[in-house]
Chains A and B, each alone.
Chain A
Amino acid sequence: MTETTTSLPAGPVDDTDLVSEAQRDPSKFTALYDRYLRPIYRYLYSRVGNASDAEDLTAQTFLSAFEALPRYRHQGHFSAWLFTIARNRVRDHYRPRTVEMPLNESQPNPADDPLVQVVRSDQLAHMAKAIRSLSEGEKELIRLRFAAELSFSEIGECLGKREEAVKKSFYRLMTRLQRQLEERHE
């Protein structure tokens, strides 16, 4: 008979409780894993654009978080902490290429920008072009909001900005993108 090691949250269990439980009993970390696998994977896929690397980085993220959890202090959102690990893993992922490859190959190829690759709509070409024109910070905002589905508060903590500032930046960005697409249609 298979033993179950998971206790399902019987309602809207707060992250803080899950983290505390996992810090006391490492086997409870799977509850955090169940909660964050999808957003972490989707975020990483939007960064690297292929399932293989996204899986690799997802595994690294959760293994790192598992290792570091005893040192985690309850300050702000657990999700922000987890996503910071994920973002650092992405940076590590790209770092060796920056060092080892010639300059013209080390730059990320914007055509391969995974965020652009996952944009699919009837306005694909225009939307993709508009997103391609965004700064990295703006793209990250879109990834965290749409791929990871984080709240403005969580994004703010992730990016080291106030929630209100993130919200303003986000809606300014939406307005600008919308206007760009409308101008193309006119």
Chain B
Amino acid sequence: MSDPASVLQFEVLLSHSLVIPEPDPGFAQTLRSRLSAQAAVPAARRSKARRMVWALVLGLVLLIALTVWIIGPQRVAAEVQKLFEYIPGFGIVEQNAPLRALEKPVSQTRDGITLTITQAFLSPEKTVVTYTLEGVPWSAYSHNEAVPGCIPGAALRLPDGTLLPLIGGGGPPTQVTVDFPPIPAKVDSFTFVLPCIQDTLPGLAPENWELPLRVVPAAALTAMPVFEVSPSPQPQQNTPLPPKNPLVLLQVIDTGNSYVLLGEFRQADASDASVPSGSWWSAGLEKITDASGQAVFNTVPYDPTLLLPPSEPGAEPWSYQIGKTFTPPLTITYRGQDIYPAVPNATAAIDFDAGPSPQPGQEWVLNQDFVLAGHAIRLTSIQAVGNTGGLRNTGYEFSFESSDPSIYDLSVAISGYTVVGGGGGYGGTPSGQWQTELDYTVQPKGKLEVVLSGLTLYGETRTWQLQWSPATAEPGSPSLYGISMGIDRILSTAAGTYLLGHTSWTDSRIVAATTVAGSFTATDSQGQAVPLEPANGQDVGLTLGPNQWLYRIAGNSFAAPLTLRATQMQVTFKQPVQLTLDLRPYGFDGSDAQLGLTWKIGLNPLEVPGLIAVPHWITYIRSGDLRGFDILMEADPALLALPFSIASGTNSQGTPVFQSGGASTRDPASGQLLSTVLTKGNITLPMVLSASGETVSGSWVTIWASPAASPTASPTQATQP
């Protein structure tokens, strides 16, 4: 049985899994204008006016269709195919689009609450504003679903008094990104209007915020290149057309630390003559692998703008974010199961008496068995559903069960009645039970004939693959950060053989890479492990450089050559990775009562060079007299540890010396990356955490051909001091 906390976590996970686009700004504005216009028209004329508007829309659609037909869809496609770039917080835009941005952040503090407009982008299509709120007391929020807090309805007021209403957006209480209609190019100053703070109760937080904003041409935006992926070349004439791959990669965004792959699965291209007529595919991502077959860690981008609209009916868009540490080419594998209609389309009929006045909730247990196209199914019960509301429909819910795992679905109808809604559940579930609901304008009653038909079945399973390599990919297997090892000196002493070596790297985002003692091994030519241990330079009178290592082999009895392998590296970043924790809007007060509580935090990936790490959950913990947080992250498997220290957010409160620190490991229960920060000082939020380095896994090898095996290739003997 799942506990309430985990169900809540699952609920949050599911809600974040549903990515539904916001209404298009142009559409929202147009519809708003239409409603305003409707309001100005006398009621009797509205219906006629509405028909005329729709006629105009239809005419426009026909005109576009005619244009496409005349000049040809390929030319139209070629015309609209332009280069794009991705701007975080705004979306994918055409390169060199005339964008404007906020001149500088603007803040206002009232009653201890600070509203800051941190970012604003303006394009000819939309306006996007990001604001943060700090200092809103937990007590100001509504905590009762029945007593909803304020829905702010933010707006932008132009100098001429025009109000541009909110048309989309959202975000956690601390950082909200909202969309507005476009602002005319000649307007560069306007006012952000926030009538109230989201979810707060009347009188408990300042209201009617107004912040003047000024925008300037966006000269130095952080824009990430978007690469259009060219389709495979078409075969020559007279060559049989190969089947189209339903798995299509359309665009790739290079974010610097990662790639975002955007594509779609096209149902129309997935079926061929070998599958039954009417088939469709229940398909999803199986895995992403590199050239060596290793799974490549992937995550779904948090930004909902990173999902292309379907290019055709039945196209299912997808997007995945991956690190840059794979060996190209990359292979994306989709797996799908065919769903097809049973043949013949057999029909079964069951009589059922609902009585003269069926009531919502009334149930009839039937347990009637029937066979459709050779498949045994039982109709277990029928229940009346609906209510007495004038606009709502009423109907019946039918419950089925079957032990036949090939059943996907069947359709249900009541003879003589036209269904107006409802839908089916599906068979083939582990329980073998499913329900179908039918809705009617008027509830069918009395003796009814239930007709069962349209059986659909699970068919064959198929996989589809596509490959992709970055345009700048180099052949071979790149090492993470370009790390490699080499041997500098060999020192033979009475205490054993000392191996002095170094690591080097090519990636400018890191400044150090050192081997991890427990993961450094040596094997001889027979594959036998040769015991070795880390040694101090002082043992042999050497001072080690910052990226040098020294290991000692006990004795000399091994068969050369010796293979030295490191499977872990400690890496130091050039720029620390930062994570800001602010749980104040979620009611964090640091009290003992909240110890053990877990909060869902942002899903934005951290800026870890070349690897993906996405914080998911944060738990308030205590260890002895230290308090702090456990941070659980979904992370690339190559990332073994990301220890944070507290950069700000703790104070000594009069104690001159206090301790704080962090640790990181893989959580054995979930397999996720766990980082812990603890402090003796008082916690003040927001808390800024900083990771100066990480531990990564890989395989780095260097081979020492010992003097006995190859005298000419032997490393130089160290000079004894």
A134 with B425: in contact, given A2-B161, A11-B150, A34-B166 (CB under 8 Å)? yes
In the assembled complex, the Cα of A27 lies from the Cα of B168 at a distance in Å of: 21
Assess the A160–B360 pair: CB atoms within 8 A.
yes
Assess the B145–A147 pair: CB atoms within 8 A.
no
For window 4-35 of A, CB contacts with B under 8 Å fall at: 4-6, 8-12, 25-27, 29-31, 33-35
Assess the A111–B281 pair: CB atoms within 8 A.
yes
Is the CB of B219 closer than 8 A to any CB of chain A?
no
Is the CB of B293 closer than 8 A to any CB of chain A?
no
Interface residues of A, count at CB 8 A: 95
Is the CB of B149 closer than 8 A to any CB of chain A?
yes
Task: Decide if the interface of chain A is mainly helix, strand, loop or mixed.
Answer: helix
Residues of A within 8 A of B345 (CB): 103-104
In the assembled complex, the Cα of A151 lies from the Cα of B20 at a distance in Å of: 19
Assess the B18–A4 pair: CB atoms within 8 A.
no
Q: Chain A 123-135, CB within 8 Å of chain B: the 1/0 string?
A: 1110111001111
In the assembled complex, the Cα of A108 lies from the Cα of B436 at a distance in Å of: 13
For window 101-156 of A, CB contacts with B under 8 Å fall at: 103-105, 107-112, 115, 117-125, 127-129, 132-139, 142, 146-147, 151-153
Assess the A1–B14 pair: CB atoms within 8 A.
no
User: Whole-angstrom distance from the CB of A116 to the nearest CB of chain B?
Assistant: 9
Is the CB of B300 closer than 8 A to any CB of chain A?
yes
Assess the B280–A111 pair: CB atoms within 8 A.
yes
For window 81-116 of A, CB contacts with B under 8 Å fall at: 81, 84-85, 87-88, 90-91, 94-95, 98-99, 103-105, 107-112, 115
Residues of B within 8 A of A139 (CB): 423
Assess the B282–A26 pair: CB atoms within 8 A.
no
Assess the B429–A133 pair: CB atoms within 8 A.
yes
Is the CB of B286 closer than 8 A to any CB of chain A?
yes
Assess the A63–B285 pair: CB atoms within 8 A.
no
In the assembled complex, the Cα of A108 lies from the Cα of B16 at a distance in Å of: 26
In the assembled complex, the Cα of A51 lies from the Cα of B419 at a distance in Å of: 26
Is the CB of A169 closer than 8 A to any CB of chain B?
no
Task: Look across to chain B and name the residue whose beta carbon is closest to the beta carbon of A6.
Answer: B163
In the assembled complex, the Cα of A115 lies from the Cα of B15 at a distance in Å of: 12
Q: A27, A41, A120, A179: which contacts B17 (Cβ < 8 A)?
A: A120
Assess the A178–B2 pair: CB atoms within 8 A.
yes
Residues of B within 8 A of A111 (CB): 267, 280-283, 314, 316, 339
Is the CB of A168 closer than 8 A to any CB of chain B?
no
User: Whole-angstrom distance from the CB of B4 to the nearest CB of chain A?
Assistant: 8
Interface window among B116-124, B193-201, B505-513, B618-626: B193-201
In the assembled complex, the Cα of A143 lies from the Cα of B386 at a distance in Å of: 18
In the assembled complex, the Cα of A2 lies from the Cα of B164 at a distance in Å of: 11
Q: Chain A 63-95, CB within 8 Å of chain B: the 1/0 string?
A: 100110010000000000100110110110011
In the assembled complex, the Cα of A112 lies from the Cα of B32 at a distance in Å of: 30
Assess the A122–B298 pair: CB atoms within 8 A.
yes
Residues of A within 8 A of B437 (CB): 135-137
Tier of interface size on chain B: 35 or more
In the assembled complex, the Cα of A62 lies from the Cα of B162 at a distance in Å of: 23
User: Whole-angstrom distance from the CB of B472 to the nearest CB of chain A?
Assistant: 27
Assess the A30–B35 pair: CB atoms within 8 A.
yes
Residues of A within 8 A of B208 (CB): 10
Residues of B within 8 A of A41 (CB): 22-23
User: Whole-angstrom distance from the CB of B23 to the nearest CB of chain A?
Assistant: 4
Is the CB of B647 closer than 8 A to any CB of chain A?
no
Task: Decide if the interface of chain B is mainly helix, strand, loop or mixed.
Answer: mixed
In the assembled complex, the Cα of A111 lies from the Cα of B419 at a distance in Å of: 22
Q: Chain B 235-272, CB within 8 Å of chain A: the 1/0 string?
A: 00000000000000000000000000000000100000
Assess the B454–A109 pair: CB atoms within 8 A.
no
Residues of A within 8 A of B15 (CB): 146
In the assembled complex, the Cα of A171 lies from the Cα of B10 at a distance in Å of: 10
Is the CB of B299 closer than 8 A to any CB of chain A?
yes
Q: Chain A 158-172, CB within 8 Å of chain B: the 1/0 string?
A: 011100000000010
Is the CB of B228 closer than 8 A to any CB of chain A?
no
Is the CB of B182 closer than 8 A to any CB of chain A?
no
User: Whole-angstrom distance from the CB of B265 to the nearest CB of chain A?
Assistant: 10
Residues of A within 8 A of B454 (CB): 103-104, 107
Assess the B20–A160 pair: CB atoms within 8 A.
no
Q: A8, A81, A161: which contacts B153 (Cβ < 8 A)?
A: A8
Q: A50, A136, A147: which contacts B425 (Cβ < 8 A)?
A: A136
In the assembled complex, the Cα of A4 lies from the Cα of B193 at a distance in Å of: 14
Is the CB of B576 closer than 8 A to any CB of chain A?
no
A84 with B39: in contact, given A120-B19, A160-B386 (CB under 8 Å)? no
Assess the B46–A67 pair: CB atoms within 8 A.
yes
Assess the B193–A8 pair: CB atoms within 8 A.
yes
User: Whole-angstrom distance from the CB of B542 to the nearest CB of chain A?
Assistant: 48
In the assembled complex, the Cα of A35 lies from the Cα of B196 at a distance in Å of: 14
Q: B24, B149, B300: which contacts A12 (Cβ < 8 A)?
A: B149
In the assembled complex, the Cα of A125 lies from the Cα of B50 at a distance in Å of: 43
User: Whole-angstrom distance from the CB of B645 to the nearest CB of chain A?
Assistant: 29
In the assembled complex, the Cα of A37 lies from the Cα of B168 at a distance in Å of: 9
Assess the A109–B280 pair: CB atoms within 8 A.
yes
User: Whole-angstrom distance from the CB of B523 to the nearest CB of chain A?
Assistant: 36
Residues of A within 8 A of B151 (CB): 9, 12, 35
Is the CB of B91 closer than 8 A to any CB of chain A?
no
User: Whole-angstrom distance from the CB of B141 to the nearest CB of chain A?
Assistant: 12
In the assembled complex, the Cα of A34 lies from the Cα of B156 at a distance in Å of: 13
Task: Look across to chain A and name the residue whose beta carbon is closest to the beta carbon of B36.
Answer: A5
Is the CB of B165 closer than 8 A to any CB of chain A?
yes
Residues of A within 8 A of B14 (CB): 127, 142, 146, 174, 177
Assess the B13–A121 pair: CB atoms within 8 A.
yes
Task: Look across to chain B and name the residue whose beta carbon is closest to the beta carbon of A119.
Answer: B17
Residues of A within 8 A of B339 (CB): 110-111
For window 39-55 of A, CB contacts with B under 8 Å fall at: 41-42, 45-46, 50-51, 55
Residues of A within 8 A of B43 (CB): 70
Q: B31, B341, B423, B426: which contacts A59 (Cβ < 8 A)?
A: B31
Q: B17, B166, B436: which contacts A121 (Cβ < 8 A)?
A: B17
In the assembled complex, the Cα of A161 lies from the Cα of B193 at a distance in Å of: 39
Assess the A4–B19 pair: CB atoms within 8 A.
no
Residues of A within 8 A of B168 (CB): 38
User: Whole-angstrom distance from the CB of A16 to the nearest CB of chain B?
Assistant: 12
Is the CB of B284 closer than 8 A to any CB of chain A?
yes
Assess the A123–B7 pair: CB atoms within 8 A.
no
Q: A11, A66, A85, A99: which contacts B391 (Cβ < 8 A)?
A: A85
In the assembled complex, the Cα of A26 lies from the Cα of B280 at a distance in Å of: 47
A122 with B21: in contact, given A111-B282, A133-B434, A174-B14 (CB under 8 Å)? no
Residues of B within 8 A of A99 (CB): 418
Assess the A151–B145 pair: CB atoms within 8 A.
yes
Assess the B22–A38 pair: CB atoms within 8 A.
yes
User: Whole-angstrom distance from the CB of B491 to the nearest CB of chain A?
Assistant: 49
Assess the B409–A45 pair: CB atoms within 8 A.
no
User: Whole-angstrom distance from the CB of B35 to the nearest CB of chain A?
Assistant: 6
Assess the B35–A63 pair: CB atoms within 8 A.
yes
Residues of B within 8 A of A142 (CB): 14, 18
In the assembled complex, the Cα of A90 lies from the Cα of B393 at a distance in Å of: 13
Beyond known contacts A2-B162, A12-B149, A38-B167: 11 more, CB 8 A cutoff:
A10-B207, A12-B151, A33-B32, A110-B409, A120-B17, A121-B300, A133-B434, A135-B424, A146-B14, A151-B148, A160-B388
Would you give 5 A-B contacts (Cβ < 8 Å), ordered by A? A70-B43, A129-B282, A135-B397, A137-B437, A160-B387
A interface residues (Cβ-Cβ under 8 A, vs B): 1-6, 8-12, 25-27, 29-31, 33-35, 37-38, 41-42, 45-46, 50-51, 55, 58-59, 62-63, 66-67, 70, 81, 84-85, 87-88, 90-91, 94-95, 98-99, 103-105, 107-112, 115, 117-125, 127-129, 132-139, 142, 146-147, 151-153, 159-161, 171, 174-175, 177-181, 183
Which 10 pairs of residues, A with B, have the shortest CB-CB distance?
A160-B387, A125-B284, A136-B423, A135-B425, A91-B421, A121-B17, A12-B150, A26-B39, A135-B435, A178-B10
